[in-house]
Amino acid sequence: MIKPIKKIGVFTSGGDAPGMNAAIRAVVRSSFYYGVKVSGINRGYEGMMEGDIIDEMDVRSVSHILQKGGTFLKSARSEEFRTKEGRSKAFQNIHELGIDALVAIGGNGTFTGAKLLNEEYGIPVIGVPGTIDNDLHGTDFTIGFDTANNTVIQAVDNIRNTAQSHNRLFLVEVMGRDSGYIAAYTGLASGAVSILIPEKKSSSEDLMAILKKGQETNKSSAIVIVAEGNSWGNATEIAKEIKENHKEFDTKVTILGHIQRGGVPSCFDRNLASRLGVAAVEGLLNNKTNVMTGLVNNKIEYVPLEKAIAFKDTVDDEVIRIAEILSI
């Protein structure tokens, strides 16, 4: 017989993303709706190992967090949890509190840890995709991606004002060590002349050809969106090369950094997080485990964690193609 779930533990791990609080809220309130107790685990796997756990939360524990960025349960990365000893310590702590299922909100590393707990101790786990990178397989969008895009767009719109005033070339670096989703979507939405992402090779010759074509058509300024992990180099390295070899361009660099992780979550991210959080609780109560809740074609899907982790989604070439057409 499958043991009925009486208490769910919810936590966030890895990099924070706007909308995580909305997901926590959804897990807590839907658990109470279905008559299940819920515990909040602070600081991810680190807090799980140290017993930093809010034993019993109620519906008012998550009041007024829907509109807040970050995660009120806080997040952390843990090297110790990568060891069997660390995972044993974590499991003992949650077991002693009667937690018999977990909702893990995060990305690739978070889901890897949840999968190991399930395999080693049999505890049911469901992942909720919370990462601004939008690179998890099995969901069209991850929590935080939309808000991060809006933050970048606002910054680029402001940068364009000064770029036009001085006829400058701006290289705007956005997050994306392994994924070009933020760069691609914001590059298209902001009218960037070029988008440099990890998934596509780029070179000085290609960029110069685009910039010179813009000069020929009297383009008053140029903005290039650079994913921090693109194949050519980061924005600072690219700017150095341009300044050395193409002094005709007044080149400036803006690195947006961690402001992309913060801010008030967008309406889309709040709704996405709410739907995925409720789906996680309902999935556990329907005996699903070792899966991630995802949104595909506006419908909830349950994807095996193994697939969500193993298959890396990459930017659709169509987004880059359209951006190139419209950047003339």
- pLDDT value at 139 more than 80: yes
Give Dmax over CA atoms of the chain in angstroms.
Answer: 74
Lowest mean pLDDT among 74-78, 88-92, 186-190: 74-78
pLDDT at residue 155 is higher than 90? yes
What pLDDT, on a 0 to 100 scale, did the predictor assign at position 203? 81
Backbone φ, ψ for residue 56 (5° rounding): -135, 115
The residue annotated as part of the active site, out of 16, 52, 100, 133, is: 133
Q: What is the pLDDT of residue 217?
A: 75
Q: Which tens digit of pLDDT belongs to each residue from 99-129?
A: 999 999 999 999 999 999 999 999 999 999 9
In the predicted model, what is the mean pLDDT of residues 1-24? Answer: 92
Please give the Cα distance from 47 to 308 (Å, whole number). 24
**What order of strands is seen across the sheet that includes strand 291-296?**
53-54, 37-41, 7-12, 101-106, 125-129, 291-296, 299-304
Both ends of the chain: CA-CA distance in Å?
Answer: 64
Strand order in the sheet with 169-174: 194-196, 222-227, 169-174, 251-255
- Identify whether 178 is a catalytic site residue: no
User: What b/e string do you get for 238-277 counting C-beta neighbours within 10 Å, with b at 16 or more?
Assistant: bbeebeeeeeebebbbbebeeebbebebbebbbebbbbbb
Residue pair 224/171 in contact (Cβ under 8 Å)? The answer is yes
Q: How remote is the C-alpha of 295 from its chain's centroid?
A: 14
Task: Decide which of 317 and 150 is more confident.
Answer: 150
**pLDDT > 90: percent of the chain:** 73
Higher pLDDT, 98 or 218: 98
Span 315-326, average pLDDT: 88
How far apart are the C-alpha atoms of 223 and 163, rounded to whole Å?
A: 8
The answer to whether residue 1 scores a pLDDT higher than 60 is: no
Tell me the pLDDT tens digit for each residue of 246-283: 888 889 999 999 999 988 999 999 999 999 999 999 99
User: What is the secondary structure of 269-288 as a DSSP string?
Assistant: HHHHHHHHHHHHHHHHHTT-
- Counting every residue written for the chain, the total comes to 328
Domains of the chain in start order, with CATH, are 7-144+265-310 (3.40.50.450), 146-261 (3.40.50.460)
pTM for the structure as a whole: 0.93
By three-state DSSP, how is residue 268 classified? helix
Closest CA to 312 of 148, 115, 179: 179
Residue 257 · residue 174 · CB < 8 Å = no
Q: In terms of pLDDT, which residue wins out, 32 or 206?
A: 32
3-state helix vs strand vs coil in the chain, percent to 5: 45, 20, 35
Contacts with 89 (C-beta within 8 Å, 6 or more apart), sequence order:
49
